Amino acid sequence: MARAAATAQPAAATARLSSLVNDSFARAIFYQLLTAAILVGGIWYLVSNTIANLSQRGMAAGFDFLDYTAGFNIVFTLIPYREGDSYFRVFQVGIANTLLVAVIGIVLATLIGLVMGLARLSTNWLIRTMARWYVEILRNTPLLLQIIAWYFGFFNLLPVPRQSFDWGGAFFLNNRGFYFPAPVPQDGFGWTGVALGLGIVAAVAIHRWARRRLEATGQSFPSVLAGVGLIVLLPTATFLATGSPLGWDIPALRGFNFRGGLSVPPTFCALIVALAIYTSCFIAEIVRAGIQSVSHGQTEAARALGVKPSRIMRFVILPQALRVIIPPLISQYLNLTKNSSLAIAIGFPDLVSVWMNTSLNQSGRAIPIVAMTMAFYCAVSLSVSLLMNLYNRRVQITER
Amino acid sequence: MPDEARLAAADQPLVFRPKPERPPPTSSIGVLGWMRANLFSSVSNALLTLLGAYIAIVFFTAIINWALVDAVWEASNRRECLDRVGRAGACWPGVIAWIPNLLYGLYPKDQVWRINIAFLILVAWALPLWLPRVRSKVGIGLSAVLLYPFLASYFFHGGAKDLLWTALIALGMAAFAWVWLTTLSERTTGLPFGAVVARLTGAPEDDEAATRTRARIAYAVLYLVAVGVTTQWSLSEVSTRYWGGLFLTLVISGFGITFSLPAGVMLALGRRSQMPFISLCSTAFIELFRSVPLITILFMFNTMLPLFLPVGVEVNRLVRAIVAVCLFAAAYMAEIVRGGLQAIPRGQYEAASAVGLGFWQSTALVIMPQALRIMIPTIVGNFIGLFKDTTLVSIIGLFDLLSMARAVGEDTTWLGLFLEPFFFITMIYFVFCFLMSQYSLNLERKLGAGQRR
């Protein structure tokens, strides 16, 4: 009896210990504590090294430099900027330029990508094959190479302003950039804007009403046509009624360069063209895959019900394809925005170029500058993916 | 007469004699039929075809005229090219003169053989993976991924080696020898090399312990020989400053590819983990690296890595770039792996734990093999992206293929020669990426054979 108790005691202790090892909860706590310890140790190591390095090199960390005068010029700015402005203004200029490139690039890439995606599905062999090789060749070569090739191989080799390409005496392309007329609103132009706003509101209202009526009675109403008509006609009528209060500042050659109008530098053109073309290949593949993902039975079913061919695409195929197309499409938009940072290779002043390169080299504030740049890109990405998740939740097919 | 014939025929039993088949209308078969169906099925299609053909012809004649017909193949400088054909034709002599630099960067000319040999070793190392009747393919593949880098980096960098470095290089060398000995023995006798050695030294066939011991002794001898060779073997040092061209591009993408897959798997498992803190850390890392452009990460490592390390420690530029590329690639790979893991039905996990497999066993033996097969196209797509992204290191001052191509136009002899080198390296990049994507399609077809409907 006593011997049994004596042997049972160490056995119980081992059992407790082994149960601690085998208990997944205890193990989880142990692993997490271990990770936390390694992480804290690593961060402490990095921070202490950084502090030592900073003090040794006489560098300062902190955000006080944001108010200092930057003192360098930026060749192209979307928002006003002077040489005497602060570093914080440089940051804003960089963000504005990056967003400008992103927005224009996204619009162009979507248009080209849509056309190419549909061309890849064409019944015409030649068109299909050409679209396929367009996609294969352009997406299998590095974007940076394309940007540099467009710049050094095309936009940089354009003729001087005196011999620039001239479209209708208003649009000019030369080695200094692309020049186009600037709209100059005059008194009363505000009314056209108001009319445009009213037109959009009315179009949305009509579309909603038409939809409700369609669901209630089954009678359709050409709400898209009516909406487009309202949005176009209302402002046009107002514009004409108020006496066309819009002037155009047309660029003109003065001496060696153009004066007046608006212009973008050749670096901008090269960046936009390369980004749009490169991204369009991926968008084309997304569009193709999305449309092919809708089973052929859907088309056949719609035909069997007697739906007009022109309506099959709009009411049967597209709504289902869009569910597949939109998430990767948005991620391509994000990629384009991130890829616009390659502007630095040809010297277009985007965020990375003016902020992470010029400002960093000049002020030496590596840590705050890197942190701010990353924070901007993270904010863009995370907010877009948040919207994306909301969208996905809305369009998800509710099964079972 | 005809009447008689008809009467005679009437006596015969009535037999159905089909008329000979008429040939299908010429417009629906052969080249013509194909063209009709695929190019001219309607008026609008015909117009599209004509437009497409016009664009294609204009484009191709322009390219062919520029690159071949009007091109200059022999000249000593760009001036000469311009005098002969102007800008109408390509000036290839500049590219030809720069080919060694485009391939190897500024690597000393008399040492270039080292790169070639190291590359051949890699090919020879990976070759058994495609040979039939070789069974230790997992071991061969793993040894190539884990141990080849040591051998290759000595070939590339050379210089003095301390004890640890010697041991690692010898490990690579011994592993290479083992790969080929095992390949040969498995192809001839069907047994791995260790077992063959055990048989030859007289170990009984059914004594597993003795076989294993003798195999180990054989490996140890192999390793000692490799150590001996390594200590006697020395290569002059070539600093990474001279690395460049296609060689550098392949080194960086090779590191990125080999590091990103295991790191991505770990991060993906971390993100899916039940342990909240580990999941949080993995998610934060993945989201941070995925939401910023690669160039900002390269800049960050370029400017901040020297700050993060103890005072006085210098890290060379190439290492900074490789670290940045590896971490970036790992974050992307993690999301791909996570996608693959999500596609595995829950039943597989449950079945694995029902037969008593632990987490690591079920992951390695049940889940991952299935997930990896689904992920192949995306993984290869990611590798292609990584290969293209290595061009970004040219921005932080490394001489990869793209910067070497830019340097051609800045060479005083070939001043302004940009298009031709760009055209040339575009073809290099295209061939690499296109082959990778075609190989992945092929692999997908082969591995998916059981899944096909």
With respect to residue A332, please indicate whether it lies within any of the assigned structural domains: yes
From the CA of B319, how many Å to the nearest CA of chain A? 18
Q: What is the pLDDT of residue A98?
A: 94
C-alpha distance from residue A174 to each of A109, A164, A180, A255, A260 (Å): 23, 5, 12, 15, 15
Q: How far apart are CA B39 and CA A314, in angstroms?
A: 26
Residue A261 phi, psi (nearest 5): 70, -170
Q: Name which of B418, B429, B439 to mutate to probe chain A: the one with the most chain A Cβ atoms within 10 A of its Cβ.
A: B418
Q: What is the pLDDT of residue B429?
A: 94
Q: Name which of B388, B410, B438 to mutate to probe chain A: the one with the most chain A Cβ atoms within 10 A of its Cβ.
A: B388
Q: How many domains does chain A contain in total?
A: 2
**CB < 8 Å from B in window 84-143 of A:** 122-127, 130, 136-137, 140-143
Which residue of chain B is at minimal alpha-carbon distance from A119? B48
Helices and strands (DSSP H and E) totals, chain B: 19, 0
Residue B154, classified by CB atoms within 10 Å of its CB into exposed (0-12), middle (13-18) or buried (19+), is buried
Mean pLDDT of chain B: 87
Q: What is the pLDDT of residue B247?
A: 94
Interchain contact A58–B (C-beta under 8 A): no
In a shared domain, residues A151 and A24: no
pLDDT > 90: percent of chain A: 36
Interchain contact A37–B (C-beta under 8 A): no
**Among partner residues A39, A52, A153, which is closest to B422 by beta-carbon distance?**
A153
With respect to residue A52, please indicate whether it lies within any of the assigned structural domains: yes
From the CA of A125, how many Å to the nearest CA of chain B? 5
pLDDT at A399 over 70: no
DSSP, res A305: T
In a shared domain, residues A255 and A371: yes
CB distance A378–B418 less than 8 Å? no
Domain range for A157: 87-181+250-395
In a shared domain, residues A129 and A262: yes
Residue A154 phi, psi (nearest 5): -135, -65
| Chain B residue numbers touching A141 (CB-CB < 8 A) | 388, 426, 429-430, 433
Q: Name which of A277, A334, A370 to mutate to probe chain B: the one with the most chain B Cβ atoms within 10 A of its Cβ.
A: A370
Interchain contact A31–B (C-beta under 8 A): yes
Q: What is the pLDDT of residue B2?
A: 53
Q: What is the pLDDT of residue A2?
A: 46
Q: What is the pLDDT of residue B402?
A: 92
Residue A250 token pair: 């047309």
Q: How far apart are CA B420 and CA B433, in angstroms?
A: 20
Q: What is the pLDDT of residue A400?
A: 47
In a shared domain, residues A254 and A347: yes
Q: Tokens 């006596």 — which residue?
A: B11
Between B29 and B153, the higher pLDDT residue: B153
pLDDT at A79 over 90: no
Residue A307 token pair: 């739906």
pLDDT band at B10 (very low <50, low <70, confident <90, very high): low
Q: List chain B domain ranges.
A: 39-90, 91-107+240-453, 109-237
Residue-wise pLDDT for B346-380, tens only, equals 899 999 999 999 888 999 899 988 888 888 888 89
> Average pLDDT, stretch B83-106?
89
Interchain contact A345–B (C-beta under 8 A): yes
CATH 1.10.3720.10 for domain B91-107+240-453, yes or no, is: yes
Residue-wise pLDDT for A190-206, tens only, equals 888 888 899 899 999 99
pLDDT band at A1 (very low <50, low <70, confident <90, very high): very low
Phi-psi map region of B46: left, alpha, beta (phi>0 left; psi -120 to 50 alpha): alpha
**CB < 8 Å from B in window 241-280 of A:** none
Residue B442, classified by CB atoms within 10 Å of its CB into exposed (0-12), middle (13-18) or buried (19+), is exposed
CB distance B275–A28 less than 8 Å? yes
Q: What is the pLDDT of residue A46?
A: 87
CB distance B391–A39 less than 8 Å? no
With respect to residue A283, please indicate whether it lies within any of the assigned structural domains: yes
> If DSSP codes are grouped into helix, strand and coil, which group holds residue A185?
strand
Between B162 and A21, the higher pLDDT residue: B162
CB distance B418–A144 less than 8 Å? no
With respect to residue A196, please indicate whether it lies within any of the assigned structural domains: no
Residue-wise pLDDT for A289-315, tens only, equals 998 888 889 989 999 999 888 788 888
Specify whether the CB–CB gap between B325 and B390 falls below 8 A: yes
Residue A166 phi, psi (nearest 5): -130, 120
CATH number at residue A162: 1.10.3720.10
Lowest mean pLDDT among A147-151, A166-170, B61-65: A166-170
CB distance B276–A32 less than 8 Å? yes
Q: CA torsion angle for A390, A392, A398, A399 (degrees, to 10)?
A: -140
**Among partner residues A31, A352, A380, which is closest to B295 by beta-carbon distance?**
A352
> Average pLDDT, stretch B386-409?
91
pLDDT band at B449 (very low <50, low <70, confident <90, very high): low
In a shared domain, residues A24 and A141: no
Q: What is the pTM of this model?
A: 0.86
Residues 6+ apart with CB under 8 A from A271: A101, A105, A147, A151, A340, A342, A343, A346, A348
With respect to residue A241, please indicate whether it lies within any of the assigned structural domains: no
**Among partner residues B288, B296, B429, which is closest to A140 by beta-carbon distance?**
B429
With respect to residue A232, please indicate whether it lies within any of the assigned structural domains: no
Q: What is the pLDDT of residue A11?
A: 59
**Among partner residues A49, A140, A344, which is closest to B433 by beta-carbon distance?**
A140
With respect to residue A223, please indicate whether it lies within any of the assigned structural domains: no
In a shared domain, residues A51 and A95: no
Question: Which residue type is seen at B105?
Answer: G
